Structure 1
């Protein structure tokens, strides 16, 4: 089935492109939402990624799995989006105070996927991008530095700050939920 859709995409058939888009929309959104400020921005990144897929589908090696190839294009498109919009936010003033949650204190809660995405979206673009590339995608700081055109130390610093900010966001979220349910 997928091979037939890809064959149609290689022939630039709109109905095949639509099928591929619909088949992998949810998968793509699950990736882009981790990098985007909002759902709208996630859709924009995903649409740009699919344009690249359709332009480069002939270079896809059908003897290999499709999803990793698509994932790489989506991640690269998200990184390109970051580069495109980071100019206005090079120096990020989004610094939270030092984390007041003790190192040994554990917070156990069940957060929905949507809640986690919303929390990650609250991070600055620089912190969010490094966090996703390192924690979710498994890239090294050296690889991230090369992708984002930053120093390796900046990648490490941004990851550390992203984690601290996320802890603060989770703490605020839990505090708010306790007050609502209290």
Structure 2
């Protein structure tokens, strides 16, 4: 009987969270932890910071669970909260922003259109490379390439100009391209001949 009591549906868990039921909160956390961690790992440089963002995000979920629209998928709502929490974390921890001229971005944007390079990487390899980017480059890259935000939306969310968003994206792509070529050349050098 105890085992069947622990298995709750998502609506039951959310209803329990509305009532501040700690067991329901724990079960919801455990059920969506992996997904939330995957979202947050793209925005921060290491697992410890990602865990901090995940925990802050779940705290927001528990505090605002009444705002969830049950007509829409829960994962989409959770993802948005995790992204927003990661952006809050970014704003709190960024030491400086890379503000560059739009003309610099235009010179590198043509070279950045070869996105097929990224499709040959394993997911884990790409995440590892993305985590090596500076915070501003990493954040813009994730928002634009992975989460599908426009430069206008990114500019509004981060308090930067659209030109800075475009420039940061171009530089992030260029940095990833350089890191990828170094990674490929290191792998080639290790192959026994």
Q: TM-score, normalised by structure 2?
A: 0.83
State how many pairs are aligned: 172
2:55 is equivalent to residue 59 of structure 1: no
Equivalent of 2:146 in 136, 145, 162? 136
Query: After TM superposition, where is structure 1 displaced by more than 4 Å over at least 4 residues in a row?
Result: 106-110
Equivalent in the alignment of 2:51: 43
Q: Distance in 1 between matches of 2:139 and 2:118?
A: 25
Q: Which runs of 5+ in 2 are unaligned?
A: 1-8, 100-107
Equivalent of 2:29 in 17, 21, 36? 21
2:130 is equivalent to residue 123 of structure 1: no
Q: Distance in 2 between matches of 1:56 and 1:43?
A: 20
Q: Distance in 2 between matches of 1:111 and 1:78?
A: 24
Equivalent in the alignment of 1:173: 183
Equivalent in the alignment of 1:164: 174
Equivalent in the alignment of 2:96: 89
- Displacement, 1:90? 2.9
Q: TM-score, normalised by structure 1?
A: 0.88
Q: Which runs of 5+ in 1 are unaligned?
A: 93-97
- Displacement, 1:110? 4.5
Structure with bigger gyration radius:
2
Equivalent in the alignment of 1:95: none
SS at match of 1:35: coil
Q: Deviations over 1:45-84 (max 9, x none)?
A: 1111000000100111212211111111001001101100
Q: Distance in 2 between matches of 1:127 and 1:146?
A: 16
